Amino acid sequence: MNNSQTIIPFAGTDMITFDMTYDQVRNALKESKIVFNVDFRPNKGCTPEVPWKIIRTNNSVSVFFANDKMFKINCGSSSQGILNNGIKVGMSIEDAMKTDPTLEYDEFEEYYVSSNGYWLFVDSGSDTISDITVFIKAVLDDEIFFSYKWC
């Protein structure tokens, strides 16, 4: 997770891929001397009750796990993340929409959704991309995702 991460939909980044386990990601970060902390979401009351572990790095990358299986990576404002199509953190949403015409705004979730497998969060004050999120395909279907059979 250096200062310029390539973000690949349904695959991960050039350093962290969705086939890696929680321990493999922790070890890779330690070996690269990247500072991180771990948050837990117990998801109490959910059915099934599957807790999440979230590794957060010092350059605003968050990696999400359920049952040791990675399902989402969020690259925030300090990550300097860039998608393989050239869309990057800090870019205007207008330019991103020219690059990827499949982008549509989801009013309920308050982010832009691409049929190419990523979400863009936008700073409303500047209309620039503040976060890019990629995920496994199971995330696209709530029924499949929240059954946790994928993990």
Of all residues in the chain, the percent with pLDDT exceeding 90 is 82
Question: CB neighbours of 32 closer than 8 A, spacing ≥ 6?
Answer: 1, 15
pLDDT at 1: 47
pLDDT of residue 29 exceeding 70: yes
Evaluate whether residue 20 is within a structural domain. yes
Domain that residue 49 falls in: 6-145
Cα-based distances in Å from 137 to 18, 84, 118: 11, 18, 10
What CA–CA distance (Å, rounded) separates 33 from 38?
15
Evaluate whether residue 150 is within a structural domain. no
pLDDT at 137: 95
Evaluate whether residue 124 is within a structural domain. yes
Evaluate whether residue 22 is within a structural domain. yes
- Overall number of domains in the chain: 1
Evaluate whether residue 151 is within a structural domain. no
Q: Which pTM value belongs to this model?
A: 0.93
pLDDT at 44: 85
Evaluate whether residue 103 is within a structural domain. yes
